[in-house]
Amino acid sequence: MPKKLTYTVLSLGLAAWLLPFLWMALGSFKNQGEILRRPPTWWPEQPTGENYGQWFGPLHFSTFFTNSLIVAVLTVLGNLVFCSMVGYALAKMEFPGKKLLFGLVMVTLMVPGVVTFVPLFVMVSKLGLLNSYAALILPFITAPLGVFLMRQFILGIPDALLEAARIDGAGELRIFARIVMPLCGPPLATLGILTFLTSWNNFLWPLVAAQSEDRYTLPVALSLYSTGQNATNYGLLLAGSVLVIVPILLLFVALQRYFIQGVATTGLK
């Protein structure tokens, strides 16, 4: 196919592909009457901020946003620190139980969330942690994928570099903090972004673990409003969707190189 034709087809395809986002954004500025009008209007005839007004007013968007952000940021920090520590030990140290630990990490790499959430729920409620930030964060503060990713990268750091530091009298913690970590920029960026993405979009566990509005994350809040008495208030729901999607899309556009690298290196979403 000639190049020009290919690009024309691709452009049309991309426009169609991104149409749901445009339709969502336009719909979020329409009032209830206009949003249900047939045939539909394209541009809002009387653009209104009332749908957003609801989220920023009585619906406590700022609470949900803050919850999502607190959970995501702490989850990312935990993963960066803990996964790289294990990754370092697994890549560069010899110790009894190493094979078993790595084996367990590999085996649990693919365990779907739906398998663990029932006992997790029983455990967390027994511990009295339901509806706490701890319940939302702790189960995800490390992940087998992160350990695997960090180990693979640290394996490639030359031993001679670490030996030289050891001869100079540096302890393992110092070597880890001063030599290994500064070299781990690329995998830490990948891991941080993947973890933030997963946490921001996580749904099943927050749905059962967060039980009152003050602990809802954004997707939980949106899903509960979209099924209750607001089920047909599309303007409100579309505005909510915009508020969930826009922050992550902005982050994606800013850091798209790392997002795409993340898929390419781990093969996972």
Q: What residues numbered 41-80 form the site for other proteins, per CB under 8 A?
A: none
List, in order, residues 6 or more apart from 178 with CB less than 8 Å away. 165, 170
Q: How many residues does the chain have?
A: 269
Q: What gap in Å lies between CA 80 and CA 100, rounded to an integer?
A: 22
- Residues within window 117-176 making contact with other proteins, judged by CB under 8 A: 117-123, 125-126, 138-139, 141-142, 144, 147, 172, 176
Q: Chain-centre distance of CA 255, in angstroms? A: 14
With beta carbons less than 8 A apart as the criterion, state whether 236 and 51 touch.
yes
Residue where the block lists tokens 């989850």: 75
Residue where the block lists tokens 């003050």: 214
* Binding of residue 103 to other proteins (CB under 8 A): no
Q: Name the one range near other proteins by CB under 8 A: 54-62, 96-104, 156-164, 182-190.
A: 96-104
Nearest CA to 221 out of 71, 15, 49, 25 is that of 71
DSSP-based three-state secondary structure for 203: coil
* Binding of residue 8 to other proteins (CB under 8 A): no
Of 200, 209, 210, 216, the residue at the interface with other proteins (CB under 8 A) is 200
Q: Name the one range near other proteins by CB under 8 A: 23-31, 49-57, 157-165, 182-190.
A: 23-31
* Binding of residue 263 to other proteins (CB under 8 A): yes
* Binding of residue 181 to other proteins (CB under 8 A): no
With beta carbons less than 8 A apart as the criterion, state whether 239 and 180 touch.
no
* Binding of residue 254 to other proteins (CB under 8 A): no
With beta carbons less than 8 A apart as the criterion, state whether 150 and 184 touch.
yes
* Binding of residue 91 to other proteins (CB under 8 A): no
By beta-carbon proximity to other proteins, the closer residue of 58 and 257 is 257
Of 69, 101, 165, 189, the residue at the interface with other proteins (CB under 8 A) is 101
At its nearest, how many Å lie between other proteins and the CB of residue 158? 19
DSSP string, 155-220: HTS-HHHHHHHHHTT--HHHHIIIIIHHHTHHHHHHHHHHHHHHHHH--HHHHHH--SGGG--HHH
Q: Name the one range near other proteins by CB under 8 A: 51-59, 98-106, 156-164, 181-189.
A: 98-106
Of 86, 136, 191, 210, the residue at the interface with other proteins (CB under 8 A) is 86
* Binding of residue 97 to other proteins (CB under 8 A): yes
